Structure 1
Amino acid sequence: MNKHVYIVRHGQTEFNRLGIVQGSGVDSSLNEVGKMQARAFYEHYRSVGFDAILTSTLRRTHETMAHFIKDELPWEQFAEINEISWGTHEGKTSTPDMHLQYKEVTEAWNAGDFDARLEGAESAREMGDRLSRFVDLLSQRPEERILVCSHGRAMRALMCLLSGKSLQEMNTFKHHNTGLYKAAYQEQQYTFLLENDIAHLEHLNIKQD
């Protein structure tokens, strides 16, 4: 079977625009720019003929996929692809001290310490474990064209898992709002055909983050 998986980050939220930490604990909606991005993605990819839409359980992914869902495509939600929990940082504008804590944790992950975490937060290992369950499910699904909508840090980890890389390499994967990763799945391996592609946004002339 020739399976293609399209994985897209949600559209912009006001929290994104203002630099406020969201994580899994802040269930925000798309702002006007995010809605424009979602519409542009839909118009660009509506003709693909997706067999299934898989989103996280968070509202910003549902709203990004709203046009496809309104077309009555099969839609399922998975907590396994929710954004990482950033613990006590969630809902707050990043301060220099918060940024330092974040940097220390991500540098620990880059060094292979996947149990490092912010206060009250999820570790990279915990996030990786739940994403691995999703990858197993994804690989077993019978559909040939699957559209997945998730979140920035979760997608970085997901790309590592799909490509067989260590979570130490998370930061090598970029993620614009509605940036698309497209992968072909053959002989139990994923091969990336597009990485963080935002061609569908070129006509909007808006700042990407």
Structure 2
Amino acid sequence: MKTTLYIVRHGQTEWNRLGLLQGQLASPLTEEGIADTEAFRQEITELEPDVVYSSDQDRALTTAKILTGDLHREIHIHEGLREMNFGVFQAKSWENIEEEMPELFEVYRQDDPDFVIPEGESHNQFHKRAVNALIEITEAHPGKRILIVSHGGTINKMLGYVEGMRPSANRFFHSKNLALNILEFENGRYRRTTEAELLEYSAIH
């Protein structure tokens, strides 16, 4: 029995446009983000997902509501789909962080998976949360087509898990806004078909 997961990153937000880390803070979709999401809705409708999940963060939930407007599906909220909590780094650019918190920035870029950003979480904590959400959703709907609307970092952790990458790997899967990543789960294993690019962490290395 094959389960198919359509994993979509939310539409463009104001902070995406400004290059600021959003984490678990709120930033609304831009007019462009809304328009692009509306244009993408037909493609999602044609995929005919049986079940829809979203992060509880506004930018993901708004995207999910627009994408499924023609499907009349209940949107299930899963807090495990939230973006990483970047703590004191949130609402800042990487350049701001390096300038304002050089010592903390230096510790973060060492890629220690257990390093907890002050007021935030570690890569290991984030990885466990994202992967658990993926597995829970998959196991709850065997044989179904599942739409998941989430965040760039969360999707990166899911794809990294499927590819066997360590939680704080300095390479990451970059999903553009509204990129569609497809996972198939069959015989106890995930297989990926994805738009995400595997890139270096150029922002912090």
Cα distance change, pair 63–73 in 1 and its aligned pair in 2 (3 A): same
Q: Does 1:11 align with 2:11?
A: yes
In the TM superposition, residue 74 of structure 1 has moved relative to its aligned partner by 2.5
Contact 2:123/2:168 (<8 A) preserved: no
In the TM superposition, residue 38 of structure 1 has moved relative to its aligned partner by 1.0
In the TM superposition, residue 104 of structure 1 has moved relative to its aligned partner by 4.5
Count of residues in Structure 1 that have an aligned counterpart in Structure 2: 192
Q: Which amino acid aligns with 2:77?
A: Q
| Alignment partner, residue 63 of structure 1 | 62
Contact 2:44/2:68 (<8 A) preserved: no
Q: Distance between the aligned counterparts of 2:133 and 2:100, measured in 1?
A: 30
Q: Which amino acid aligns with 1:45?
A: I
Q: Spell out structure 1 runs of 4+ moving beyond 6 A.
A: none
| Alignment partner, residue 164 of structure 2 | 164
Structure having the higher helix fraction is: 1
TM-score (normalised: structure 2) = 0.84
Q: Percent identity?
A: 24
TM-score (normalised: structure 1) = 0.82
Q: Distance between the aligned counterparts of 2:99 and 2:171, measured in 1?
A: 21
In the TM superposition, residue 132 of structure 1 has moved relative to its aligned partner by 2.7
Q: Distance between the aligned counterparts of 2:77 and 2:5, measured in 1?
A: 16
Matched ranges for 1:42-191 at <5 A: 42-70=41-69, 71-94=71-94, 95=96, 96-97=98-99, 101-102=104-105, 104-105=107-108, 107-109=109-111, 113-142=112-141, 143-169=143-169, 171-191=171-191
In the TM superposition, residue 89 of structure 1 has moved relative to its aligned partner by 1.9
Cα distance change, pair 182–99 in 1 and its aligned pair in 2 (3 A): farther
Q: Distance between the aligned counterparts of 2:41 and 2:170, measured in 1?
A: 27
Contact 1:108/1:114 (<8 A) preserved: no
Q: Distance between the aligned counterparts of 2:100 and 2:122, measured in 1?
A: 16
Q: Distance between the aligned counterparts of 2:101 and 2:173, measured in 1?
A: 20
Q: Distance between the aligned counterparts of 1:99 and 1:49, measured in 2?
A: 47
In the TM superposition, residue 166 of structure 1 has moved relative to its aligned partner by 1.9
SS at match of 2:194: strand
Write out per-residue CA displacement over residues 75-109 of structure 1, whole angstroms, 9 at most, x where no aligned residue: 1011101001111122234414258555652x432
Cα distance change, pair 124–45 in 1 and its aligned pair in 2 (3 A): same
Q: Does 1:39 align with 2:41?
A: no
Cα distance change, pair 41–180 in 1 and its aligned pair in 2 (3 A): same
Q: Distance between the aligned counterparts of 1:139 and 1:14, measured in 2?
A: 32
Write out per-residue CA displacement over residues 145-199 of structure 1, whole angstroms, 9 at most, x where no aligned residue: 10111111121111112333322436331121111111111111111122339xx
Contact 1:135/1:162 (<8 A) preserved: no
Cα distance change, pair 127–13 in 1 and its aligned pair in 2 (3 A): same
Q: Distance between the aligned counterparts of 1:80 and 1:66, measured in 2?
A: 18
Contact 2:87/2:120 (<8 A) preserved: yes
Q: Distance between the aligned counterparts of 1:2 and 1:86, measured in 2?
A: 35
Q: CA RMSD in A?
A: 2.1
SS at match of 1:169: coil
SS at match of 2:147: strand
